[in-house]
Amino acid sequence: MVRGTGRHDTVLLTNGSDLLEATDLGIDAVADRAGMGTAASLRSHLRTHVGVSPVAYRRRFRAPAV
């Protein structure tokens, strides 16, 4: 899924994407907990390496509520 990134960026993106999929946290909180610091950084990394915004990622990959 994540191409052209270093190991550190891959870990941060994995952390962020896991939080987007599994929680209702806001984008600022996801970025902070994932270790990216800011929502702008999370947005930039996701757009660059996955091709979508955090909101679009959450919509696409979030498991349906049971």
Model confidence pLDDT, tens digit, residues 24-56: 999 999 999 999 999 999 999 999 989 999 999
Any domain includes 50: yes
Any domain includes 8: no
6 pLDDT exceeds 80? no
CA distance 8 to 60: 24
Any domain includes 48: yes
Any domain includes 33: yes
pLDDT over 90 percentage in the chain: 67
Tell me the mean pLDDT in the region 13-26.
Answer: 94
Any domain includes 7: no
60 pLDDT exceeds 90? yes
Query: Considering its fold, how many domains does the chain have in total?
Result: 1
Coil vs helix vs strand at 37? coil
Q: Residue 41 belongs to what domain range?
A: 20-61
66 pLDDT exceeds 60? yes
pTM for this entry: 0.83
